[in-house]
Structure 1
Amino acid sequence: MKRKLNESSKGTVVLVHGAFEHSGRYEWLANKWYEAGYNVIYGDLPGQGNSEGIKGHIDSFDEYIDKISEWIEAANYLQKPIFLLGHSMGGLAVVRALEEKELNVDGVILSSPSLGICARPPKWVRPLSKFLVKMVPTFKIKVPCRPWRSTRNEFFHNRNKIDPLILKKVSIHWYYELERAIEHAFKQIKKYPAVPTLLMQAGKDFLVNVKDVKNWFQSLPIEEKKFDEWNHLYHEIFNEPEREEVFSVAMEFANEVCEIKELEVEA
């Protein structure tokens, strides 16, 4: 777990990275929150980055939920309000964590959350998936996405090619758990808490099914929610050339929540 702590902070942001990547790709975003006056907590999800366990594999999606709960518990010792920001599969994990656990969170930011996927395993895998999941759950297949489909920022195209922590393969069981988590995110949507939620979605997303994301958001039974679509941006909106503008919107949302919480305390 990594921490960036301010002596006098507005609140605390917990960052949750996406699939195939690691927390090191979020240093820019973590620094932006820190410079904006927030504490930041982030780290590597199970099976990714420098975390323990089999790389590219999980036995259950609950492993991600438990890790997020651990980070929130650490945030509880820091300045409130507490915000959860999850990107892509990390966004899905945030949704599932909020549906399954009573987390002390004051605001949620979802960045192109994986509530429907476009990039799927090779066609030959599907007919064999049930057999493979039962007999050889750690059997790995090639990750079906390329850097240039995630962002228009060439810096990250080149960086991903030489980053040893970027996953090139994941287990068949990982895919099974991902698809189950997406299904449960819709089925358990009524359990999502009444927490101010900002969903920021890339308009040109080749990895996440934007229609599915919109359907989930429209079904979300809370009053304080906002959908913000970035029409020309690719999947990784916080790595796009316009990321300063993207961050400004996220920060404005967090600042507004902080102001409301401060007024509630004064009242």
Structure 2
Amino acid sequence: MRSVPASIIIVHGAFEHIGRYNHLIKQFEADGYRVFGQDLPAQGNSEGIKGHIRSFDQYIERIGEWLKQIDEGPVFLLGHSMGGLAVIRTMQELKPKVNGVILSSPAMGILNGASKPMEAASKILNYLWPSLKVDNQFNPENVTRSEAVRIRDHYDQLILKKVSIRWYKEFQKGIRQAFLKVNQFPEVPILVMQAGEDLMVDVRKTKEWFHKIDLHEKTYKEWPGLYHELFNEPEWKQVYTFTTQFIQQQLLKPLR
């Protein structure tokens, strides 16, 4: 019998911050889970120049630090969008001992990225002026159908308005590495949930990566009609229930 509750580490996505998951955290805690979540480097209230990183590895290192804070009990990693990509890269590089991985609309391909001229210029600017910032593509109307969340995000001062050239190039590099090292993903049960009407990430790329991973237990669930932020959609309680069912299935297995 398990005496220690399962811990869930939530890794938020690009431009945002962990505060946008307060409702999810409260629900997990109400159901008996321990939840860990902080702002990623250069986002929210974290340290550093906002919207600028030197390497995507900073995200991997930070998640690794969070994992070390949990000294007992089952552990699950839940990553959304770019946070999902960061979780994938963490699993590939650090291979932590976790009981399961949950990905919400993972950023395996960016929709409406930089224009071709800007893409070409970014390769040069990444060396000459990596900290140069450009407008991001975060639009509340593109990530959720919830009017309440859209209004809240409109006034949220912690949502990034600009990101650096280096941040953008490292994001792209992270995606390439996730595909190149797909066979280095450890044997850990994974649930990939993808928004059916995603206006931020390329659904085809999510499916492509999912089909490439060779695991004994992997589940793909697409949510028709839902926008990018599954846990901020009007139907988020349904998404939550599906998520906890996956977690409970893993908890039925013998302790490692």
TM tier, shorter chain? over 0.9
Q: 2:41 aligned with 1:74, yes or no?
A: no
- The answer on 1:218 being equivalent to 2:207 is no
Give per-residue Cα distances to partners, 1:196-247, cap 9 Å, x unaligned. Answer: 1000100000101000000000001101000000011000000000000100
The answer as to 2:65 corresponding to 1:104 is: no
- Counterpart of 1:217 in structure 2: which amino acid? F
Q: How does 1:1-40 map to 2 (within 5 A)?
A: 9-40=4-35
Q: Which residue of 2 aligns with 1:65?
A: 60
Alpha-carbon shift at residue 108 of structure 1 (Å): 0.4
State whether residues 34 and 40 of structure 1, in contact with CA within 8 Å, keep that contact through their aligned partners in structure 2.
Answer: yes
Q: Which residue of 2 aligns with 1:52?
A: 47
Work out the number of aligned pairs and report it: 254
- For residues 86-235 of structure 1, what are the structure 2 equivalents within 5 Å? 86-235=79-228
- Deviation, 1:32, is 1.2
Which consecutive unaligned segments of at least 5 residues does structure 1 have?
1-7
The amino acid that maps onto 1:11 is A
Q: Distance in 1 between matches of 2:216 and 2:31?
A: 27
Do the aligned residues in 1 keep the contact of 2:104 with 2:193 (CA within 8 Å)? yes
The AA in structure 2 aligned to 1:134 is Y
Structure 1 runs (4+) greater than 3 angstroms displaced: none
Letter of the structure 1 residue corresponding to residue 233 of structure 2: E
What is the distance in 1 between the residues matched to 2:4 and 2:31? 9
Of stretches 58-67 and 8-17 in structure 1, the one that deviates more from structure 2 is 8-17
What one-letter code is carried by the residue in structure 2 that aligns with 1:160?
D
Q: CA contact under 8 A between 2:126 and 2:166: conserved in structure 1?
A: yes
Gaps of 5+ in 2: none
Residue in structure 2 matched with residue 250 of structure 1 by the alignment: 243
Whole-angstrom distance in 2 between the partners of 1:120 and 1:102: 30
* Distance in 1, Cα, partners of 2:138 & 2:119: 17
Give the CA deviation at 1:102.
2.5
- Give yes or no for contact 2:95–2:185 (8 Å, CA) kept in 1: no
Quick check: 118-127 or 20-29, which moved more? 118-127
27-36 vs 177-186, which moves further = 27-36
TM-score by length of structure 2 reads 0.96
Normalising by the residue count of structure 1, what TM-score does the alignment of the two structures yield?
0.93
One-letter code aligned to 1:21: E
